[in-house]
């Protein structure tokens, strides 16, 4: 038995494409979209559209696969819009969200001219949109993004960067229009000859994975919709978009961080009362004790099913709207990101070395050729990715290690993970459930070239993004004082590195 990813031999993939390597299973991605659509359609009286969040995975080849099962997509920027068009999505099928539209009036002109659906995030966007529509002699198709009040929810948000309860964290998020602006914006659009209000939009984000959280979201959305219907007498939305934020299979947001911060802080304060040697002995003993209880394999979290989410959200939404709308004629749109991308992607890396220490504290680091710079959700969302190693490798027992990267940062990708004892340079490691956001948010920290990306479908693996070169990393630098930046020479020297990735792809199909 050897290490496999997406049904393929990991060693052959590493030989063909190099490491580190992003891998997306197109079959899993497409299946997730189908399951998501089926779940929401079961619980909604009218039509349902699934609009995958492009920000979770922007490769054009990947979007082209999504287009076979999704009627549209959720976008945020001109770059994402261009990628969606190149993948074959129609402008009228997208949802262009976010307040970034204000940064470039030319982009608004393009959206209006193309007939794209614009989700208005800020009342200040309306001047530019109306003027662009008047100049083009068209009617701009608009939806308004609401800020529904989730109520008095003081449970902790899973977004640990906020360290806030859901109520405050959801209010701190900038997106959407405050209710007063929302009602004014609706009245203005309905009075305009150049703008049409087609629907309402809300997005709560992944504060909690629980069904109770999504019931509250459904109630809050319905309440805000009723408020709009009361203010804009006679207006009927053609579509209601409830955004994304749903957890999916393999979700690991927040699992990297300890849940016992307060208790640990008190214990650390108590240790300060001991002399240094005593502190070290007690701490080392506690570490060894804790590591004895690390499981051989930590399964990913098991969030509610797509069906459970759909029943909770749409049930409360429909109850709250009541007979104010004929939901059989109202399109429900959903914009999943993590829910469909997470378990469709993994990351293949190679061990560079293993470092062990006994004093003053026992620690073992497995250093890989990847990094949290390439898997940023390990830091930003405290994701605890599932780690797999080669099952065929001889091992005498197991040990608990920190799986780390190659940058000058702490670069702790997954801490306290149990792996076969005696891992060595050259061993392959798979980080699972990395398919959402990691490649899109990867950086060039330490001037490292970003990894290649492949897509696996029924035809086998194929390169969809080449590996960057050092020349790519330095290409934007502008030379000063007459010195050559060397970009042209370096680009020609390194051109073969990216182009050769995948030359032996056929061998990886075993």
**pLDDT over 60 (residue 499):** no
Band (pLDDT 50/70/90 cuts) for residue 394 is confident
Q: How far is CA 286 from CA 33, 267, 281, 289, 293, in A?
A: 45, 11, 9, 5, 11
Tell me the mean pLDDT in the region 353-367.
Answer: 92
For 78-92, 276-290, 459-473, which range has the lowest pLDDT when averaged over its residues?
Answer: 276-290
**pLDDT over 80 (residue 356):** yes
**Active-site residue flag, 408:** yes
Band (pLDDT 50/70/90 cuts) for residue 361 is confident
Q: How far is CA 87 from CA 61, 99, 116, 289, 399, in A?
A: 7, 24, 15, 52, 46
Q: Which pLDDT tens digit goes with each residue over 415-473? A: 888 999 989 999 999 999 999 999 999 999 999 999 999 999 998 999 999 999 999 99
Tell me the mean pLDDT in the region 339-363.
Answer: 93
Please indicate whether residue 255 or residue 119 has the higher confidence score (pLDDT): 119
Taking the C-alpha atoms of residue 377 and residue 205, their distance in angstroms, rounded to an integer, is: 15
The pLDDT of residue 330: 97
Please indicate whether residue 66 or residue 486 has the higher confidence score (pLDDT): 66
Q: How far is CA 310 from CA 247, 341, 366, in A?
A: 12, 18, 41
Question: pLDDT > 90: what percent of the chain?
Answer: 65
The pLDDT of residue 286: 72
Active-site pick, 73, 223, 346, 408: 408
**pLDDT over 60 (residue 255):** no
CA-wise closest residue to 430 among 345, 343, 346:
346
Q: Which pLDDT tens digit goes with each residue over 188-209? A: 999 999 999 999 999 987 777 7
Domains and CATH numbers, the chain: 26-254+301-336 (3.20.20.10), 345-509 (2.40.37.10)
The pLDDT of residue 155: 76
**pLDDT over 90 (residue 63):** yes
For 58-62, 312-316, 391-395, which range has the lowest pLDDT when averaged over its residues?
Answer: 391-395
Helix (H, G, I), strand (E, B) or coil at 461: strand
**pLDDT over 60 (residue 492):** no
The pLDDT of residue 494: 41
Taking the C-alpha atoms of residue 198 and residue 132, their distance in angstroms, rounded to an integer, is: 18
| Residues 207 and 166 sit within 8 Å (Cβ to Cβ) | yes
CA-wise closest residue to 332 among 9, 46, 1, 43:
46
Task: Write down the pTM of the prediction.
Answer: 0.86
Band (pLDDT 50/70/90 cuts) for residue 411 is very high
């Amino acid at each position: 038995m050897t290490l496999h990813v997406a049904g393929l031999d990991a060693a052959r993939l590493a030989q063909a494409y190099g490491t580190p390597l992003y891998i997306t299973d197109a079959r899993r991605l497409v299946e997730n979209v189908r399951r998501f659509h089926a779940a929401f359609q079961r619980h909604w009286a009218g039509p349902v559209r699934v609009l995958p969040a492009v920000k979770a995975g922007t490769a054009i080849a990947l979007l082209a696969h999504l287009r076979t099962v999704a009627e549209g997509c959720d976008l945020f920027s001109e770059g994402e819009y261009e990628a969606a068009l190149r993948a074959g999505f129609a402008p009228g099928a997208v949802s262009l969200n976010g307040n970034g539209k204000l940064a470039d009036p030319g982009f608004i002109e393009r959206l209006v001219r193309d007939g794209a659906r614009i989700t208005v995030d800020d009342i200040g966007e309306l001047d530019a949109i109306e003027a662009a529509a008047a100049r083009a002699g068209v009617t701009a198709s608009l939806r308004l993004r609401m800020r529904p009040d989730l109520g008095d929810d003081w449970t902790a948000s899973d977004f640990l960067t906020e360290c806030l309860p859901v109520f405050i964290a959801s209010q701190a998020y900038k997106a959407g229009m405050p209710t007063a602006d929302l009602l004014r914006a609706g009245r203005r659009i309905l009075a305009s000859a150049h703008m049409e209000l087609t629907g309402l939009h809300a997005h709560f984000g992944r504060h909690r994975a629980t069904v109770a959280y999504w019931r509250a979201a459904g109630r809050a959305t319905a309440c805000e919709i009723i408020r709009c219907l009361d203010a804009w007498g006679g207006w009927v939305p053609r579509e209601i978009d409830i955004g994304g934020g749903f957890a999916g299979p393999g979700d690991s947001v927040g699992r990297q961080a300890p849940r016992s911060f307060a208790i640990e802080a008190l214990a650390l304060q108590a240790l300060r009362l001991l002399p240094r040697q005593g502190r070290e002995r007690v701490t080392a003993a506690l570490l060894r004790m804790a590591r004895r209880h690390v499981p051989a394999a930590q399964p990913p979290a098991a969030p509610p099913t797509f069906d459970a989410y759909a029943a909770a959200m749409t049930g409360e939404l429909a109850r709250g709207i009541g007979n104010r709308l004929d939901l059989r004629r109202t399109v429900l749109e959903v914009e999943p990101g993590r829910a469909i991308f997470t378990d469709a992607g993994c990351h293949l890396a190679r061990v560079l070395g293993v470092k062990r220490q006994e004093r003053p504290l026992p620690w073992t680091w497995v250093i890989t050729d990847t990094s949290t710079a390439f898997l940023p959700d390990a830091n930003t969302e405290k994701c605890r990715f599932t780690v797999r190693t080669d099952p065929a490798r001889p091992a005498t027992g197991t040990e608990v290690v920190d799986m780390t990267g190659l940058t000058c940062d702490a670069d702790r990708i997954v801490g306290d993970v149990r792996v076969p004892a005696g891992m060595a340079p050259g061993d392959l490691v798979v980080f699972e459930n990395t398919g959402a956001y990691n490649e899109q948010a990867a950086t060039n920290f330490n001037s490292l070239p970003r990894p290649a990306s492949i897509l696996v479908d029924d035809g086998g693996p194929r390169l969809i993004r080449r590996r960057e070169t050092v020349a790519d990393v330095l290409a934007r630098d502008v030379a000063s004082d007459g010195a050559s930046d060397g970009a042209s020479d370096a680009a020609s020297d390194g051109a073969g590195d990216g182009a050769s990735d995948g030359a032996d792809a056929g061998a990886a199909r075993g």
